[in-house]
A and B are shown apart, each in its own frame.
Chain A
Amino acid sequence: MNQQYDLVIIGSGPAGATVGRFAAAGGLSVLLVDKKQELGAPIQCSGAVSRHALEEVGVPLDDEFILEPIYGFAIYDQAGAATKIDYRKLKEDEYGSGPGRKPLGYVVDRRRFDRFLMTQAERAGVETWLKTEGLGYQPTEDGRCDVFLRRYNEKITVSTRVLVGADGLMSQVGKWAGLQTHIKITELAGCLQFIVDNVETEGLLEIITGHEWAPGGYAWVFPKGHGYAEIGLGVIPTMTTHSAQWHLDKFIKQSFFKERFKDSRILEVQGGGVPLAAPLRTQYADNLILVGDAARHVNPITGGGIHTALSGGKLAAEFLIRHLSTPGVSCAAAELKGYQDDWLQALGDKMWKLYHTKTKVFHQEDIPTRDAYLYQTMSDYFDPNSEYKKI
C-alpha cells in the first residue's frame, strides 16, 4: 500500500513550508516535497519583507537569512523627484538601529530564508524530500487522492487526504485539477535584477516609477547587505518592444541615477515573472488547495508575495487542521471552499481592492497622466497612514 499522509505539499517556498510547519504542529502528518537541490536558487526574488510579516507567523528574526534591515521607502518619479518615508525620522522612538529600536523590515537572502523555513517545518515534524518533483494527482474512491512523484529518478506514489499546491508562479498543480490559472500578458512583468558592488544605499527600499524607465512596472534599488545593492526592474511586454534587460541597461546608463551607478560592478544576475494581477477566482478542487504564488496571492501593486505566502500558508494550515479533525469528513471541492472564504476575508478582499486601484492606473492611456497616477498610488501605498500593511 502507498504511504499515507494527511497532507502532501508540493513546493517548499515560503507558502509551502509555512503550511507544513503549522499543520505538523497541529498534529497532521505532512510530506513536503520540492524538486530543487537548493531551495530558493536560482534566486527569483528581491527578498524584501516586513518584520511584522515574519513575526505574525512566528519566524525568528535570524541572522542566518537576514541580509540587511530596512527603515522605510523612497518613491521617485520619472525625473527623480522623491517622496521619502523614513521611519527613523517619522517615529524616532520606535524605529532605528539603536537600543530598543527596531527595523521596519528586512531584505532576506531567499536561498537561506527558504532553507530556514524548511528546517523549521522539519523540526515541527514535517517529512521533507528534496529532489522530488510532483507529476500529477488523482482522487481515489476512498475519498483520498494519490499523488505521483519522482524522487531521484524513482517514481513514487503516495496517498493523502489533501494535496497542497505551493509550487509558485509556474504552478502546474492548479492545471492538473483543470483550474483557470492563466495570467494575462498585460499583467505579468518580466523582471531582471543585478546584485552590484559600489552603489550606496541608506536602509530604504527605493522605487522608481515612470514609463521611460519601466513601462508597465517600476524599477528599484534595494540594499543587499555587505555593502551591496540590487538594481532591478520589471516591464509589461505589451507596453514595450524591448526586453527587461534592455530597459535595465538603459536605466543604469541614462537615468537620473547614472552618476550613482557609474562604478557599479555586477555580482549576480537574477530575474523572474512578477504578476501584477488578481488572485485566482478558484483556489480549490477535489482534495486540493493552492497557496502562495500558485494561487496568485501576490500584491498587485508591488508584486510582493512573501508576506502573503507566509500569512496565507498559516491560514491554510489552520483551516486544514480544523477541517480534517472531523472524522470521516469529505475533502471534495465544495468542502474545501471554506479555505478560500477564510482567505478572502483575512487577505483577499484587500488584494482585490488593490487590484482595482492598480487597474485604474494602467487604464490611463495618456502616458504622463498614467505616470503621475502611478507615482501617487505608490506614494500613497507606502504612506504611514495607508490602510495596507507595509512591504
Chain B
Amino acid sequence: MSKLQPVIFDIGWNACINCGACVAICPQEAGFISPFDTIAVDRACDIACLLCESICPTDTITHKLVEEGGKD
C-alpha cells in the first residue's frame, strides 16, 4: 500500500500560539493554510505526512482519517 489515507486536522486553539511552524514544514502546495497561520483545518490533506503534528511546539494538532470516497 503506497498511498496514505487522507486526514483532516483538528487544532486545539487553546494551546496554539499561532507560530506558523506547521505551515513552514508543510509540503502542500500554496494555500493549505488557515486564517490563523496554521495548516488548514477545513479540508482534508491527502499527503498525510503528519510533519505538521511532529513540529508543533505545543503538541496541539491531532487528526482523523477521512474515509476513502470522501464524506466528512
Contacts and interface: CB of A to CB of B under 8 A. Distances in A.
A185 B54 contact: yes
Interface in A159-175: 168-170, 172, 175
Interface stretch (A197-205, A219-227, A271-279, A348-356): A271-279
B55 A246 contact: no
Contacts of B51: 185, 237
B41 interface: no
B72 interface: no
B57 A245 contact: yes
A192 interface: yes
Contacts of A191: 19, 21, 57
Interface string B27-50: 101110100010000000000000
B17 interface: yes
A244 interface: yes
A188 interface: yes
A271 B55 contact: no
Interface residues of B, number: 21
15 contacts: A136-B30, A170-B20, A170-B37, A175-B30, A185-B51, A185-B55, A190-B55, A242-B59, A243-B56, A244-B57, A245-B59, A269-B17, A271-B57, A272-B20, A273-B24
Contacts of A237: 51, 54-55
A91 interface: no
B29 A188 contact: no
A175 B27 CA distance: 10
Contacts of A322: none
Nearest to A269: B17
B24 A243 contact: no
